[in-house]
Amino acid sequence: MTVDLEPLWLTFKLATITTAVLLVVGTPIAWWLSQTRSRLKQVVATLVALPLVLPPTVLGFYLLLLLGPAGPVGRVTDALGLGTLPFTFAGLVVGSVIYSMPFLVQPVYNAFEAIGARPLEVAATLRASPLASFVTVALPLALPGLLSGAILAFAHTVGEFGVILMIGGNIPGETKVLSIAIYDHVESLEWAQAHWLAGGMVLFSFLVVLTMNLLGQRMRRIGHG
């Protein structure tokens, strides 16, 4: 029995890049949501949370249309000489960032909300700029939320299937991630290979939940302290 390890590496690569992009993009969104009084707040919050209730195949289908050669984004990327994103690794990253967005934004938003106004007001009295207050006060205080969001986003990306299948297909070395590889093995009645990969996913999921529980316990202790 041989187990192809390439999907493992591709999955790790996808989850790492997706989490990094989400930290850069999602953290400012969470900060804005926690601070703004704009009427658009609920609209933006709903759009961010939409992947939680939207069927993955539906999201993947519309991303396929949007990023495809006839879609507005596809026409732009094609005109720039980048080609189209569907059925490429870059397309998987775009789909994964959108699909895992709420798993990072929500914990980070909750962490920013828990800070309250007092620390930022103190920073303002010391003549700290809004950017300096964000970097030196808000981010350090929200670190547990950032860690929780990063862990959840990484784990969610590892387990993706529907969006990946719709926008990436099953191209070895390019879009064939772990979840697709398990599906392939089951479809081919290769139970032993499927067991190895699926068992690894079960262990990974257990460790993620355990880490989240330990992190939550530590946050509660810090809060009581």
pLDDT digits (tens, 9 = 90+) for 73-87: 999 998 888 888 999
Output the CA–CA distances (angstroms, integers) from residue 191 to 185, 186, 187, in the order listed.
7, 6, 9
- Residue 1 pLDDT > 90: no
How is residue 137 annotated by DSSP? I
Boundaries of domain holding 95? 5-223
pLDDT score recorded for residue 221: 64
- In the predicted structure, residue 88 carries a pLDDT above the cut 90: yes
* pLDDT above 70 for 219: no
Q: Give Cα separations from 68 to 46, 112, 122, 139, 167 (angstroms).
A: 25, 37, 50, 37, 9
For 170-199, how does the pLDDT look when each residue is reduced to its tens digit (9 = 90+)? 899 899 999 999 988 898 888 888 888 888
C-alpha atoms less than 13 angstroms from C-alpha of 54 in its C-beta half-sphere = 20
Q: Where are the alpha helices (DSSP H) in the chain?
A: 6-35, 41-49, 56-67, 72-79, 89-115, 118-125, 130-133, 139-141, 143-158, 162-168, 178-187, 191-224
Residue 83 confidence (pLDDT)? 86
Average pLDDT over residues 96-120: 90
Angle at CA 186, nearest 5°, toward 15 and 2? Answer: 75
Percent of the chain with pLDDT over 90: 44
* Mean pLDDT score, 27-56: 93
Cα 167 to Cα 69, 97, 162, 176, 186, distances in angstroms: 13, 13, 9, 11, 21
**Confidence (pLDDT) at 60:** 92
Q: How far apart are CA 19 and CA 157, in angstroms?
A: 8
Residue scoring higher pLDDT (219 or 225)? 219
- Pick the more confident residue, 207 or 223: 207
- Considering the chain, what is the average pLDDT of its residues? 88
Q: In CATH, what number is assigned to the domain containing residue 39?
A: 1.10.3720.10
Q: What is the mean pLDDT of residues 150-155?
A: 91
Q: How many domains does the chain have?
A: 1
What pLDDT does 5 receive? Answer: 77
pTM of the predicted model over 0.75: yes
In three-state secondary structure terms, 151 is helix
Supply the pLDDT for residue 82.
Answer: 83
**What is the distance between the alpha carbons of residues 67 and 83, in angstroms, rounded to a whole number?**
10
CA distance 78 to 52: 30
